[in-house]
């Protein structure tokens, strides 16, 4: 998620002829604001109902799968510049369909990642077998989270810069490489998540000692 959050504004602000979307600052701000609103609404209204329907682990796995799809699809929004704009006499190169693609992908991404992050904390707590180790496990997980928050933005910027600078690769391919790598990583995480045993995660099973 952090890699995505760093890559999205960088990619959006990059000019079209350099592999990005060519968006202005206000347009990027609109995108990020929309994603934040969706995350808030999901957290308050959607997550409790979906959890009641699917269960914790099943919903977590579904969110990982949909995240992997979005990671791969996000970079393809650039191709929507080639689709004729019905509001502009069929002209190509406008942002009409690009906006639709971004809104769709960010809706699914915000839904999936909000669910995945929230449920991962619950699953982690449920997996702890002894109450006296719960604090240590949560503390260690927060340390790992902080490390990823430090490394992911730098990694996203590095991968994007190296991809765009590799001029021996066709522009449409190298501009998609960071999204493709993120999508592959997303599928690896999904398949790893499918190995989790529901008996250990859906309900707490801690002892007092």
| The predicted structure's pLDDT at residue 128 | 84
Which among 11, 30, 32 has a CA at the least distance from the CA of 156?
11
pTM score, whole prediction? 0.91
Read off the tokens for 143.
């340390």
pLDDT in tens, 8-42: 999 999 999 999 999 999 999 999 999 999 999 99
Are the C-beta atoms of residues 11 and 102 closer than 8 Å to each other?
Answer: no
* Whole-number Å distance between alpha carbons of 187 and 64: 8
pLDDT in tens, 192-208: 999 998 887 777 755 55
Which among 100, 102, 109 has a CA at the least distance from the CA of 66?
109
| The predicted structure's pLDDT at residue 46 | 93
Are the C-beta atoms of residues 123 and 60 closer than 8 Å to each other?
Answer: yes
pLDDT in tens, 56-96: 999 999 999 999 999 999 999 999 999 999 988 889 999 99
Are the C-beta atoms of residues 77 and 105 closer than 8 Å to each other?
Answer: yes
pLDDT in tens, 135-187: 888 899 889 988 988 898 899 999 999 999 999 999 999 999 999 999 999 99
Read off the tokens for 92.
């190509």
| The predicted structure's pLDDT at residue 131 | 79
* Whole-number Å distance between alpha carbons of 104 and 124: 30
| The predicted structure's pLDDT at residue 209 | 52
* Whole-number Å distance between alpha carbons of 17 and 5: 22
The domains of the chain, with CATH numbers, are: 6-201 (1.20.1250.20)
What is the C-alpha R_g of the chain?
Answer: 19
Q: What are the phi and psi torsion angles at 19 (to 5°)?
A: 110, 0
CB within 8 Å of 44: residues ≥ 6 apart: none
């Amino acid at each position: 998620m952090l890699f995505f959050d760093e890559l999205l504004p960088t990619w959006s602000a990059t000019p079209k002829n350099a592999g990005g979307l060519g968006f202005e600052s206000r347009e990027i701000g609109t995108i990020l604001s929309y994603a934040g609103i969706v995350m808030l609404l999901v957290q308050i209204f959607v997550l409790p109902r979906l959890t009641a329907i699917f269960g914790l682990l099943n919903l977590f796995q579904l969110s990982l799968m949909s995240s992997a799809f979005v990671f791969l699809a996000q970079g393809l929004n650039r191709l929507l510049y080639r689709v004729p704009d019905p509001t502009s006499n069929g002209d190509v190169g406008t942002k009409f369909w690009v906006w639709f693609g971004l809104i769709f992908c960010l809706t699914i991404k915000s839904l999936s990642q909000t669910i995945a992050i929230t449920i991962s904390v619950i699953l982690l707590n449920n997996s702890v077998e002894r109450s006296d180790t719960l604090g240590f496990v949560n503390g260690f997980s927060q340390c790992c989270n902080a490390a990823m928050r430090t490394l992911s933005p730098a990694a996203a910027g590095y991968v994007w810069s190296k991809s765009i600078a590799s001029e021996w690769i066709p522009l449409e391919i190298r501009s998609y490489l960071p999204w493709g790598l993120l999508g592959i990583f997303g599928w690896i995480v999904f398949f790893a998540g499918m190995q989790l045993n529901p008996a250990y995660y859906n309900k707490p099973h801690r002892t007092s000692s």
